[in-house]
């Protein structure tokens, strides 16, 4: 079952482009990576799902229901962590979290305490006295305390130190193991590669690719390095080879095509070492943006 | 209406409500306490004022005002209370939803499981409660200080009551108009200039209206709709003008709901 669904979602801010004709589905229990550089339309997409803004055309559904018409009801089960967190500066952390909890029709006290413990959050400080990283922790706790079934994370790790990032990812994976669907927007591709099973790549407001990370890697260029004495680079110039580089007794190139043809070509010379790697998400991503 | 939003709003406004209420009570105290010493020389003053140029008197709202009577005096000075009330109400109106957008807390509130109609209603009721508290302080301090300082003078309670009750609608006008303007513009960087602009602007319009004898301006400004001198002299509200205020309030409120439920909440850039 698809938990979230965008149908030809388009948003213009006056004449400025937000997103154009974006369609995709995210399935229940999935961690869906949503990647693109700043200004590509990641936040716009998330804000449309949360009805913070309204689409110019197209529609979006969550749990099969229209996210504008049923917004208030749907948001009982949605957690949201924005990239920049802002809360009522004069409030204490505990009061803000209690205020947040008061919107939900279930008791959130215990989960709130657990999360605050995990994130090592001091509940008695005022929001205005917190560092950015600590405000971010408040954001994480308030986004998760009502045990949502769907999470929107918009560049969630900005401002967290590596230790907290690890705790955070662990927390998200735990939530996911309980069946929570996660929509994970980021431009840090390493973390998306680590967390997500499927990704959507957005470029200048348009979704240009939606695929499994594995499929993306397998169907893409392989990075090949061949080391040997006295190599002739031209020998490797077979169909499917690009970016051929030759230096100091080693040849590097990208290869896309029948792997057997490549093996035969390599096998016909005496080599000292061969590595064939799948490209990282970052390299694939850069390829889309070249 | 959601009780949690109401209380959150109310708590955030409480300090401002107390400050405004105490300031206005102090203002009324100063005005009223000076009446007895003023009344002694009032005959002289009225005589002197009769020699002033008509335009000057009009500019200060002193035309046809008998400062020798308690309510004549109180009605004249009540104008300054009205200016304060106008600025306070306009501040709450302009800030009601714009502050959350300026300080980026709107994302927090609007991603909770509540509708925008519920949010706006709760916030409006909280602002209304804050204004009613201020109004109550104005009422009580007016009655108490007038009783304390009136000396031998007498006054018509009905006129005073009508004058004091008028401030509820008067404040609603500035609350509602401030709110709808804040939703018509893209972003309000600071509430104060807008609130001062609306409050003083309406006052200046009413003064100009008097000086120029322009009755068109009367239609716009609540300082005319609820002119204290008129209420004191006639022991009644100027009903057609008050109705204009009421219509403006209703249109502004309906407009605010329509605009707010369709509003795109700006993101941090």
Structure confidence by residue, pLDDT tens digits, B192-244: 999 999 999 999 888 887 777 767 777 889 998 998 888 988 889 989 999 99
Note whether B265 contacts A72, CB cutoff 8 Å.
Answer: no
pLDDT tens column, B238-266 = 899 999 999 999 999 999 999 999 999 98
Nearest to B4 among A80, A87, A99 (CB): A99
Name the residue in chain B with its Cα closest to that of A90: B12
Is B107 an interface residue toward A (CB < 8 Å)?
yes
Name the residue in chain B with its Cα closest to that of A104: B113
| CA proximity to B227, closest of B251, B210, B250 | B210
pLDDT of residue A243: 81
Rounded to an integer, the average pLDDT of B109-137 is 96
Of all residues in chain A, the percent with pLDDT exceeding 90 is 57
**Taking 70 as the threshold, does the pLDDT of residue B61 lie above it?**
no
Q: How many CB atoms lie within 10 A of CB B170?
A: 22
Confidence of residue A183 (pLDDT cuts 50, 70, 90): very high
pLDDT of residue A154: 92
Q: Which residues of A touch B15 (CB under 8 A)?
A: none
pLDDT of residue A267: 86
**Taking 80 as the threshold, does the pLDDT of residue A202 lie above it?**
yes
Confidence of residue A218 (pLDDT cuts 50, 70, 90): confident
What span, in angstroms and rounded, lies between the C-alpha atoms of B197 and B203? 10
Confidence of residue B73 (pLDDT cuts 50, 70, 90): confident
pLDDT of residue B269: 67
| CA proximity to B132, closest of B3, B2, B10 | B10
Q: Which residues of A touch B115 (CB under 8 A)?
A: 71-72
**Taking 90 as the threshold, does the pLDDT of residue A142 lie above it?**
yes
Scan residues 202-231 of A and list those with Cβ closer than 8 Å to B. Answer: none
Rounded to an integer, the average pLDDT of A117-122 is 91
Q: What is the mean pLDDT of chain B?
A: 90
**Taking 80 as the threshold, does the pLDDT of residue B8 lie above it?**
yes
Question: In whole angstroms, how large is the CA radius of gyration of chain A?
Answer: 23
Q: What 3 state SS string does chain B have?
A: CCHHHHHHHHHHHHHHHHHHHHHHHHHHHHHHHCHHHHHHCHHHHHHHHHCCCHHHHHHCCCCCCCCCCHHHHHHHHHHHHHHHHHHHHHHHHHHHHHHHHHCCCHHHHHCCCCCHHHHHHHHHHHHHHHHHHHHHHHHHHHHHHHHHHCCCCCCCHHHHHHHHHHHHHHHHHHHHHHHHHHHHCCCCCCHHHHHHHHHHHHHHHHHHHHHHCCHHHHHHCHHHHCCHHHHHHHCCCCHHHHHHHHHHHHHHHHHHHHHHHHCCCCCCC
Is A75 an interface residue toward B (CB < 8 Å)?
yes
Q: To the nearest whole angstrom, how far is the Cα of B132 from the nearest Cα of chain A?
A: 25
Across A147-156, A251-260, B191-200, least confident range: A251-260
**Taking 80 as the threshold, does the pLDDT of residue A280 lie above it?**
no
Non-local (6+) Cβ contacts of A269 within 8 A are A228, A231, A235
Cβ neighbourhood burial of A143 (10 Å; 0-12, 13-18, 19+): buried
Query: B217 vs A239, which has greater pLDDT?
Result: A239
pLDDT of residue B213: 72
pLDDT of residue B266: 87
Rounded to an integer, the average pLDDT of B47-64 is 73
pLDDT of residue A22: 95
Nearest to A87 among B105, B114, B268 (CB): B105
**Taking 70 as the threshold, does the pLDDT of residue A175 lie above it?**
yes
pTM for this model (two decimals): 0.88
Of all residues in chain B, the percent with pLDDT exceeding 70 is 97
Is A103 an interface residue toward B (CB < 8 Å)?
yes
Query: What does the CA dihedral A212, A213, A216, A219 come to, rounded to 10 degrees?
Result: -90
Q: What is the mean pLDDT of chain A?
A: 90
Is A90 an interface residue toward B (CB < 8 Å)?
yes
Is A128 an interface residue toward B (CB < 8 Å)?
no
Query: A234 vs B225, which has greater pLDDT?
Result: B225
Q: To the nearest whole angstrom, how far is the Cα of B76 from the nearest Cα of chain A?
A: 40
Across A72-81, A110-119, A163-172, A250-259, least confident range: A250-259
């Amino acid at each position: 079952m698809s938990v979230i669904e965008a149908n030809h979602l388009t948003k213009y801010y006056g004449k400025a482009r937000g997103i154009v004709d974006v369609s995709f589905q995210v399935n229940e229990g999935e961690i869906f990576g949503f990647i693109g550089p700043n200004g590509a339309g990641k936040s716009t997409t998330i804000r449309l799902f949360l009805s913070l803004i309204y689409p110019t055309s197209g529609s979006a559904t969550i749990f099969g229901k229209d996210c504008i018409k049923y917004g208030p009801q749907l948001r009982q089960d949605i957690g949201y962590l924005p990239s920049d967190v802002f809360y009522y500066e004069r409030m204490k952390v505990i009061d803000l979290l209690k205020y947040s909890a008061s919107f939900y029709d279930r008791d959130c006290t215990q989960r709130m305490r657990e999360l605050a413990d995990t994130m090592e959050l001091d509940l008695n400080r005022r929001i205005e006295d917190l560092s950015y990283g600590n405000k971010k922790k408040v954001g994480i706790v308030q986004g998760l305390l009502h045990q949502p079934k769907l999470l929107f994370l918009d560049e969630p790790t900005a401002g967290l130190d590596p230790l907290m990032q690890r705790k955070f990812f662990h927390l998200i994976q735990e939530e996911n193991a309980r069946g929570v669907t996660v929509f994970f927007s980021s431009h840090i591709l390493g973390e998306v590669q680590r967390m997500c099973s499927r990704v959507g790549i957005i470029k200048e407001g348009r979704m240009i690719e939606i695929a499994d990370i594995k499929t993306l890697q397998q169907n893409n260029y392989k990075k090949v390095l061949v080391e040997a004495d006295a190599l002739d680079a031209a020998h490797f110039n077979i169909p499917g080879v690009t970016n051929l580089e030759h230096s100091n007794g080693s040849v590097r190139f990208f290869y896309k095509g029948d792997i057997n043809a490549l093996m035969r070509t390599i096998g016909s010379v005496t080599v000292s070492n061969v590595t064939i790697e799948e490209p990282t998400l970052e390299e694939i991503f850069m390829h889309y943006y070249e | 209406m959601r009780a949690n939003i109401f209380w959150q709003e109310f708590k955030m406004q409480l300090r401002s409500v107390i400050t405004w209420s105490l300031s206005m009570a102090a203002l009324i105290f100063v005005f009223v306490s000076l009446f007895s010493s003023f009344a002694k020389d009032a005959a002289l003053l009225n005589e002197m004022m009769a020699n002033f140029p008509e335009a000057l008197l009009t500019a200060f709202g002193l035309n046809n005002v008998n400062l020798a009577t308690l309510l004549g005096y109180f009605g004249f000075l009540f104008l300054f209370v009205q200016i304060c009330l106008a600025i306070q109400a306009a501040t709450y109106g302009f800030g009601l939803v714009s502050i959350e957008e300026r300080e980026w807390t709107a994302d927090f509130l609007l991603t909770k499981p509540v509708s925008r109609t519920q949010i706006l209603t709760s916030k409006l009721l909280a602002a209304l409660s804050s204004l009613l508290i201020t109004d109550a302080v104005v009422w009580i301090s007016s009655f108490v200080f007038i009783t304390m300082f009136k000396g031998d003078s007498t006054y018509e309670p009905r006129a005073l009551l009508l004058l004091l009750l008028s401030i509820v609608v008067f404040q609603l006008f500035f609350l509602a108009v401030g709110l709808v303007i804040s939703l018509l513009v893209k972003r309000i960087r600071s509430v104060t200039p807008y609130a001062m602009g609306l409050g003083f602007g309406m006052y200046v319009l009413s003064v100009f209206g008097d000086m120029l004898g322009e009755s068109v301006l009367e239609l716009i400004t609540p300082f005319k709709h609820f002119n204290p001198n008129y209420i004191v002299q006639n022991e009644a509200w100027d009903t057609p003008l008050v109705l204009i205020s009421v219509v403006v309030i209703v249109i502004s409120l309906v407009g605010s709901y329509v605009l707010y439920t369709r509003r795109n909440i700006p993101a941090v850039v």
